[in-house]
Amino acid sequence: MSISPLQKARYAYQPKLPKILQNDIRNVAIEYGKETESVSDQEKIRAMFPCTYGMKEISFKAAASSASDRKQVVGVILSGGQAPGGHNVITGLYDALKKSSKDNVLLGFKGGPSGLIEDSFIEFTDDFINQYRNTGGFDIIGSGRTKLETVEQFKKVDEVAKKHGLTAIVIIGGDDSNTNAAVLAEYLKANGSQVQVIGCPKTIDGDLKNDVIETSFGFDTACKTYSELIGNIERDANSAKKYWHFIKVMGRSASHIALECALECQPNICLVGEEVQEKNQSMMDIVNYISSVVAARAERGDNFGVAIVPEGLIEFIPEVKSLIAKLNDLLAANEKEFNALSGFAAQYDFILSKLDAADVKVFSSLPEDIQKQLLMDRDPHGNVQVSRIETEKLLITMVAKRLDEMKAEGKYCGKFNALNHFFGYEGRCAFPSNFDADYCYSLGYNAFLLIANGLTGYMSVVTGLSEGPAAWKAGGMPITKMMNIERRHGEDKPVIRKALVRLDGKPFKYFESQRKKWEIETCFTFPGAIQYYGPEEVCDITTRTLALEMGK
């Protein structure tokens, strides 16, 4: 297989580890912290997780280890959407296992959780795993979105674990995937199994974090990839001076990516879904805001600009969010009847007959294309697939109409030519940045220490990330600490709470302080491509979000 010069060079890159993980594994000891409780719904979560609720946070320190020296046979899966660095979590786990004992085994189950249920696996070897070091993608074993939630599935996993003599299972995934990890850990422990379950925090959306988890892996690389593209478009816009570019970026349930890209590139407009929700803004409020910025720039002779739109914006607009929630429940409760309908007209009439007057008004006001997109198949968790909703096109259409009205009123005299873009898959499998390569390798390496110390139901945690890797700290956090109850498929389910953009947080506050200037003036910045070799201040720099949160 032919490889590029960059890929060859990245194979040779040795990820940097926290100082504590550089120690001989026999000289790393566990230190227990305080007991934990879930972020909300404590009594309900406690009742659902009687065996794994309330466990203590832990950290690792340099001291004689009390970890088990038994042979470890560990299974690992990649779950959910791809994120740069997933391969390095696996290589870090593999290297830690083999450093402890050459007899230790790592099995990769293919295609996500389904591979664990169907017993589809590969045993990793040096030659095989070396082909994936510091590379993007999840192609080493593939991924999947099968949800582990039924007793039948748990029993099958238990059977597969016993067949291979598994001592532990590592689930690399986002909020839903790590909810799977928590539920599986609870089932196995409740049923007397000694198989441990450890999670690793993955998602480019950046919404899997809390007071302990500073960022999820992949966010750094994805944002840098999108920011390069946005910077390129900004340069083009400032060169041609005739187009408004509406750019939708990934982030279904939180606007972290949009905000980070705005901090990196300084566009004229960046919509933050959490702010839209907090201010109870309607669709027309958003359209009027964008139109006012377009008109103000036109007065300066600047009939061009860049607007960043988060993928999940439409779910943050209160009137539309309410509609979507009711559609989710309605379609879950009437799935067979709805699917039997032929043609959109019949579906439209059926939906209107089930909604109240306020929701009918909102649904009827949307363009037909958007109505159809709201009624498309749900994702595996019962939610509308917002990435398929062309919010950026909807905004262009509505802004153009509003500008025509403003022109008739004598309030606008410019030209509005708009282009739309969606940056999503472009960022999910990029070569991981040095930060993500180091962070992910550390997460995998640290996962082995959690296993060796007999822990289950924990997430691998590495902190102090705004400093250099040598200063990072390693430990673990009970997954149940992050959980709450949410409505899924018309039922209450325990899930990890998504971390939204904090409007009182330093990243948003900085953006807010600069917004008025960026709206009117052309303040574009151009991050350029991710750099892998050169000065640390260029190659190892982290996101603006993390730097601001950590006071940098």
| 426 residue type, one letter | E
State how far the alpha carbon of 270 is from the alpha carbons of 197, 265, 276, 304, 309, in Å.
40, 10, 11, 15, 6
Rounded to the nearest angstrom, the gap between the alpha carbon of residue 544 and the centroid of all alpha carbons in its chain is 17
DSSP 351-392: HHHHS-HHHHHHHHHS-HHHHHHHTSPP-TTS---GGGS-HH
Residues facing 477 on adjacent strands = 459
Residue among 317, 399, 332 at smallest CA distance from 363: 317
Task: Compute the distance between CA of residue 168 and CA of residue 454 in angstroms, rounded to an integer.
Answer: 9
Task: Compute the distance between CA of residue 384 and CA of residue 323 in angstroms, rounded to an integer.
Answer: 11
Is residue 400 classed exposed, middle or buried when 0-12, 13-18 and 19+ CB atoms within 10 A define those classes?
A: middle
Task: Compute the distance between CA of residue 335 and CA of residue 382 in angstroms, rounded to an integer.
Answer: 11
Task: Compute the distance between CA of residue 489 and CA of residue 66 in angstroms, rounded to an integer.
Answer: 44
State how far the alpha carbon of 532 is from the alpha carbons of 18, 473, 508, in Å.
19, 23, 28
CA quadruple 154, 160, 163, 167: dihedral positive or negative?
A: negative
Q: Is 377 a catalytic residue?
A: no
Rounded to the nearest angstrom, the gap between the alpha carbon of residue 177 and the centroid of all alpha carbons in its chain is 11
Backbone torsion region of residue 377, taken as left when φ is above 0, otherwise alpha when ψ lies between -120 and 50, otherwise beta: beta
Query: Which structure tokens are listed for 336?
Result: 């067979």
Q: Which residue reads 């830690």 in tokens?
A: 96
Task: Identify the active-site residue in 158, 175, 176, 205.
Answer: 205
Catalytic residues: 205
